[in-house]
Every structure is written in structure tokens, then in C-alpha cells.
Structure 1
């Protein structure tokens, strides 16, 4: 790999995550030595790339640095198009239109040599014929998440028992046959997930919940990680 390509790829690796990335992990991905990574990191810092960290701990790319948005590799174009295809095949109508528009925009702005990868892709995501329909307006759900607003749900469980819940929505999980709305439930005072096909009614309120959606997602992820760690230690 050319040095310029390696420097570019180091930036890409660092901006994938907000967590520190060790020189060893970078070296493994780039199939080079840690000494080379240390030297490249030092060169990038010398070129005023806002990289923070140190050897043995890991590195973080701070805000305020970006690369030209059109520098896409063939693999990145194919990944973006395949992801958009999957959304178009499995998402609600608004997401389907957005995914199709995204593919068209990618094709319009990438170099001509890469355009066939977007317009005539070798990969294809097929529709999920087993997905269960739901009564929930997913476009409104996404707007509620972005605004941090509460939703009042009428929900049926597996035994067809119906309850009324006021929830703080902060994430949507897409699975092969269903979607999950991930929330903080005021009734249970805990995180709860609701299958969208079991929601019989929903009222989208103007009331904001007191936490930021991002903070709820972070807390939920920590609890999940702790749960799986405890399961691993117990098993």
C-alpha cells in the first residue's frame, strides 16, 4: 500500500468510531507494522490532523477534521449501494424513497469510472417477503426520535393483552421479520422494546422527554454490554 493511501486509511479507521483505536488494531487492518503506524500517526499530527492519544492507549480523531467527501473506493461505493438497497427492500415507504434517492445521488457525484458500481451493481438485496406489516407510521417515529418527543402507544403482547404506554423512543431495530421500537417506558420505569406490528394505535405528542436521545442510546448500550458480560462470566 502506498504511504499516501495508508495515511488516508488511518484517518478512515479513526473516524469510524469515537473510541480509542490502538496502533496494533490499525496495523492489523493495514497489514503493516506498529512502528510504521506510530510513524504515520506522528506525520499526520505534524500535518495538523487533530489526532489525540498515545502509544499503548489508542488514538482518537477529534472533531474539526474531514476529508473530501467524494474520495470513495469501489468497495465503499458497493457497501453504500448495498446498504441502500437493503433499506429500500425492508424500510417503510419514506425510507425506501430516501434510499433510492441516495443511490441516485451517489451515482451522480462519483467519478464516471465508478458509476457502474452504483447503477449496475453486482450485489443485490432482495425484498423480505416474511416481514410483518405494522400500523405504526415509521416516518413519524423517526421524527419523534430526532425531536426527543414522547409517544403514547396502545400495545398488544403475545397473549393479546392490551396496555397503554407512554414511551421515550430513541432507536429502531430492523430484523428479518419485524421491527423493534426501543424506548424508555414510563409505565415500567425501564428500557423496553416494542414490536411495531403489535402496536394497535399511537399518539405522537409534542411533549419532549427530559433526556437526549443520544444519552438514552448510550445508557441502553452500556446496560446491554454489562448484561452480556455477566452472561459470559456466568456461563
Structure 2
């Protein structure tokens, strides 16, 4: 999304007349969330200035900053460990999901043997490259760039995790969430929650246009 994101965080890109993060936070509030933790990095002070304490969106907002080195999604969570609840939901700052964001948490709470519940969508390569193999209610494997025809699902963009998963990660390292997801799948402790409506993203101009249409822009 350059050159715009050289001076503006992606989550503040305008969609349907409003910053994207406003749509996302309101969707979380509608799903019953009362508190959000924003892990911010590049130009994060602009996000903090807009969201502030979260009251305008019906939420309490807290912040964790990466610092001078971007740590990746899982690395940022490790840095934010003192602020994480025993179970929590992770969603990406550039994805809009037309579903109940609280559903993965409810599923994880109902299955104490699992360490995570990942929302998935039967994508079959349509909206992006499929990366997830699912059998029943379990994620069998998670692999970016997978080419096998039985890899029919994609990471939908919302995953519930137990705090202990993050506590076991090394501190101060650059760590992607994909590696954590893949390891939980190998252990047989990552559940799959199937979403039935496509995801939307703002990582491309086409994605912005599609989401604006979804949100009702003329």
C-alpha cells in the first residue's frame, strides 16, 4: 500500500469514509468484547492518537509497542505478555471479518485440552493461497505456500490462544505467528472453527475497494 503507508499506518487507511481501525474496533465491540490490546509498531503513535482510550468505540484500549525493532506478530505478543488474559483473541490489523469474533474464544474455553482455536475458511485458493489442512475439528497442518490439493482452507484471521503459548516463546526475538500455529497443529492441539463468509483485507487497492463495497459505500 505504498506510498501511503510511508506516512500513515495501514490500519488508518480510509475505508467507506472512516479509518479502517474504526470499523474493526466496532466489530469487536458488537461481538461482546470490552477490552482490546493494540500491539503497535510503525507509526503507532498515530493509532494511539485516534483510538485513545477506546471509549469512542465502546471499548477500553491498551497498547503495547514493539520498540525500535518490529518483532513479528508472535514476538509482539510475547512483549505484551503482562497485559494478556489467560485466554485471548488475536486478529490482524489489516483484516475485516464478517463473523462473531468471540466464537473462537468460546470454542477454546469449551475444550481445555486445546491450546488454540483458529478460525478457518474453505478458500480453495480463491481469495488468497490456501495454507491450512483441516480434518474434523482440528487443524492438521498450517503451511504458507502449500501446494497440495487437500490444503483447502485458509487462516481466516482470528485465533484464540492460551497465555501459556505466548509465555513459552523467547523474549525479544522476531517471531511470526505462523510458526506458532504450525507447531500447535503438529502437536494436535489447535482446533479449527470454520467461518462461512469470506474475509476482507486492506493489503491491496483491490481489497480496499471490495471492503468499501461490503460496508456499503456507494
- Structures share fold, TM-score greater than 0.5: no
User: Normalising to structure 1: TM-score of the pair?
Assistant: 0.23
- Structure with the greater alpha carbon radius of gyration: 1
Question: Of Structure 1 and Structure 2, which has the larger fraction of its residues in strand?
Answer: 2
What's the TM-score, normalizing by structure 2?
0.25
Higher helix share: 1
